[in-house]
Amino acid sequence: MTDRNRRLAAWCVALALAALSAACRRAPQPGDPLPGLSKAERARFDSGRVAFENVFTPGTGLGPLFNADGCAECHEEPVVGGAGDEIERHAAAFHATPPAGARACDELVALGGPVFQQRVTPALRAAVGIDSEPVPPEATAIAGRSSPDIFGFGLLDAVPDSEILARADPDDRDRDGISGRPNRFFDGRLGRFGRKAVVPTLREFNDGATVAEQGVTNPVVPDEGTFGGRPFPPGTDPTPEPELSREAIDLVDFFVRLLAPPAPQRLSREARQGRDAFASAGCDGCHVPVLHTGDSPIRALQHREVAAYTDLLLHDMGPELADICFANATPSEFRTEPLMGVRLMTRFLHDGRATTLEQAIELHNGEAARSRDRFRTLPAEERAALVAFLKTL
């Protein structure tokens, strides 16, 4: 063999090994980080998981009001970062014709809302004799809120506003029966996180969650708020603020940001048929299969395709599902729920009322009524195929 042939053979072997390595690279499993992290990023992700799994006590900052004693209490199934079986309680007051000098939606912030925590520390119970934060009589609706999995949320955070707004059609000018309205935070920025798409960024969602869910203050939200609009009695919050350090909340955020969405499974013949039915029924009008991320300081988040199955916009889901208003969202408007990782869920819709995907589809109404009706009229095997497709996501 000549030198030239030897070199050629070596190149071929190297190429084959590279191809084999790529083929064998494991697709992200639930709880895995996004692929392509540097060693330092991977180490930080692992440290973030530890911070995420931290369990608080009243002595380390828990409460006085809280829903959970740590992030992983609610984001735990099938692995840390997954969904939870807890149902939270949110409340608001909605007046279609607002009273003079008021907005149509009152999130009841002055009375402790919109999250009304369901647990209290022993010190608060002893001081005021309550077992949960009372929902005031001013509330016109109380909403249940299930804990979603948070896989792939860093990718959703990296989707540019322009991509979301490009799909908005608030007046349904294209006459497809689907509007799609952006919600906005109280300062006017585009919202995307939460079931009503109120929170603009993942960082803010995480910063706010330690306080709203665990009663653990941090440097960005250094006060406990109130209980029912009243200050906490002296002695019920003994830990100095902030109760969580900047470093700890940064680690939690890094972990959440880099959790990979579970890779969609390979489609069987039935699932391929179901994918076609999903499109022909018009489900993809709101559950948009692919979003694209923009620039990001983290390479693993830059310019990626995300199989998100959401448009991150609000849609009217009809009166049966309606609960609370929030910012610009009316009681019947909800953000399209991302379907990435839906195969891992055991409860569906914003309050977990559906226990099967078929039930969840049946409960769609409003702008989704046409797609639901198309699903109903499909032959049984096509309906089963559509559900089989969803179970690959």
Partner 1 sequence: MNRFVLASLCIIAGFPTAATTQQPAPPPPNPPTHSVQGAVRVVDVRGRALEVTTGVGMALRIVRLEVPADVRVTAAGAALSLNQLVPGDIVRVSYGGKAGGYLAYTIERVGRMATGVEATP
The tally of CA atoms less than 13 A away on the side-chain side of residue 326 is: 28
- Binding residues (CB under 8 A) for partner 1: these are 94, 98, 101-105, 107, 109-110, 113-115, 168, 170, 181-182, 184, 186-189, 193-194, 198-199, 204-209, 211-213, 220-221, 223, 225, 325, 327-330
85-106 per-residue burial string, b: 16 or more CB within 10 A, e: under 16: ebbbbbbbbbeeeeeeeeeebb
Q: Where does residue 319 rank: exposed (0-12), middle (13-18), buried (19+ CB within 10 A)?
A: exposed
Instruction: Give the residue with the Cβ less far from partner 1, 83 or 263.
Output: 83
Taking the complex as a whole, how short is the minimal distance between the CB of residue 343 and partner 1, in angstroms?
A: 27
Instruction: Give the residue with the Cβ less far from partner 1, 148 or 262.
Output: 148
The tally of CA atoms less than 13 A away on the side-chain side of residue 214 is: 30
Instruction: Give the residue with the Cβ less far from partner 1, 263 or 327.
Output: 327
DSSP 358: H
Taking the complex as a whole, how short is the minimal distance between the CB of residue 46 and partner 1, in angstroms?
A: 25
Instruction: Give the residue with the Cβ less far from partner 1, 198 or 387.
Output: 198
Residue type, 341: G
Rounded Cα distance between 41 and 103, Å, is 44
Rounded Cα distance between 21 and 23, Å, is 5
Taking the complex as a whole, how short is the minimal distance between the CB of residue 373 and partner 1, in angstroms?
A: 25
Taking the complex as a whole, how short is the minimal distance between the CB of residue 236 and partner 1, in angstroms?
A: 18
Taking the complex as a whole, how short is the minimal distance between the CB of residue 103 and partner 1, in angstroms?
A: 5
Instruction: Give the residue with the Cβ less far from partner 1, 308 or 314.
Output: 314
Instruction: Give the residue with the Cβ less far from partner 1, 225 or 338.
Output: 225
DSSP helix/strand/coil, 298: coil
Sign of the C-alpha dihedral computed for residues 362, 368, 369 and 373 taken in this order? negative
Taking the complex as a whole, how short is the minimal distance between the CB of residue 205 and partner 1, in angstroms?
A: 5
Beta pairing partners, 335: 314
Taking the complex as a whole, how short is the minimal distance between the CB of residue 126 and partner 1, in angstroms?
A: 25
Instruction: Give the residue with the Cβ less far from partner 1, 147 or 392.
Output: 147
Q: For the residues of 1-23, what is the DSSP string, one character each?
A: --HHHHHHHHHHHHHHHHHHHHH
Taking the complex as a whole, how short is the minimal distance between the CB of residue 226 and partner 1, in angstroms?
A: 9
Rounded Cα distance between 255 and 31, Å, is 10
Residue pair 147/205 in contact (Cβ under 8 Å)? The answer is no
Look at strands 65-66 and 84-94 and give their pairing.
unpaired
Structural tokens at position 312:
């991150």
Instruction: Give the residue with the Cβ less far from partner 1, 124 or 387.
Output: 124
